[in-house]
Amino acid sequence: MESLDLLPTPCLVLDRPRMLRNIQRMHDRAEALGVMLRPHLKTPKSIDIARLLLQRQARGITVSTLLEAEYFSRHGLHDQFYAVPLAPDKVPRIAALLRQGTDLICATHDLEAVAAIERQAREQGIVLPLVIDVDVDRHRSGVQAGDPEFLAIARAIHASPHLQLRGIMIYAGASYEASDTEAIADLAEHIRQGGLQAQALLQSHGLPCPMVSYGSSPGTFFARSMQGITESRAGVYPFQDLFQAGLGACRIEDVALSVLATVTGRQPAQNRFIIDAGGLALSKDRSTQGTAYDAGYGLVCDVEGSLIPDLFVSSASQEVALVTSRSGASIDMARFPVGHKLRILPNHACFTAAAHGEYHVVDGGTQVMAHWPRINGW
């Protein structure tokens, strides 16, 4: 086995024991709520991680790109939900997956899009399963159930021999702006109720709605009830990140993902040192800026993954970042010689991981036990 000390930097490190604890924690919560997980693989993008997730309270998978859908299909995962509004020109790729035996459910939220999707499905000679993306909290995409277009979309899907209405999807995006865990729980209930009201509206008009798919990790974990919800698309929970810690969804020591970096220089007069992991390797996500603590562009750990108090990444350019102390206390530069390795915890695991092609998997220490590839791109 190779050591982290010998790896070229920057690179992505995954602490397997932490990840397994995070997976188990969400499994236990989903089991207590009586809801199945359809884990969103937009964060891990890895068959090795997908297999671990599917061992714990999971039914099928959620994907965010067709490249993910094709990759996971090749690895035998055929129960999939492509949970972004569908662009009609993607239908031929979806048709190929359906013909290969993958049940790929897609989403839409626009009546004009339904017509274009239907034309493509007819040309491909397929029956395309669709859910309606319902906007419950005005946070992201979707159509509101009170909008006349909602029922028009449902009727157009149900009437077409080339489309199949599977139900609805909802997303608890506003939970990421909540002030505390009680507020997240309140929002989660609001989202759930909104989804059930949309389902009831469809059913009252004789339209099928067997699927009510719910998204967001904190929304799932802090929900008081998931009654009526058929599945949760929780995604970031295997890794967690500093933003999730700021929400109270995990502790900092639960964050399983980090970026290995090397000290390349020191500036004692400015009380800072430089590392070779910049904005591309760490991402420039500043989501913790709005939480009780501001982690800058990431918190600093030693090579074994233990947090170094008071240090954070204060700024990041493309390939360079600066580390300083939050309190302004003087840094002992002798502790951080040039060539010294550190691990940086990310604000947003999804964005940070996206720049890297593989995970260097450790078993809680510094010895790399495996290399797990990621499937990046579209």
Structural domains of the chain sorted by starting position, each given as residue range(s) with its CATH number in brackets: 3-10+250-373 (2.40.37.20), 18-238 (3.20.20.10)
Report the chain's mean pLDDT, rounded to a whole number. 95
Rounded-to-integer distance, Cα 54 and Cα 72, Å: 12
CB 62 within 8 A of CB 91: no
Strands 341-345 and 299-301: antiparallel
Per-residue pLDDT at 291 exceeds 80: no
Query: CA-to-CA distance for 234 and 176, rounded, in angstroms?
Result: 13
Does position 175 have pLDDT exceeding 70, yes or no?
A: no
pTM exceeds 0.85: yes
Packing angle, helices 111-124 and 148-159, rounded to 10 = 10
Q: What is the amino acid identity at position 282?
A: L
For 165-225, give the secondary structure using H, E and C: EEEEEEECHHHHHCCCHHHHHHHHHHHHHHHHHHHHHHHHCCCCCCEEEEECHHHHHHCCC
Q: Which residues contact 16 (CB under 8 A, 6 or more apart)?
A: 256, 361, 362, 363, 364, 369
Tens digits of residue pLDDT in 14-42: 999 999 999 999 999 999 999 999 999 99
CB atoms within 10 A of CB 197: 13
Place of tokens 């989403």: 107
Residue 176 — pLDDT band, cuts 50, 70, 90? low
| Amino acid in position 95 | A
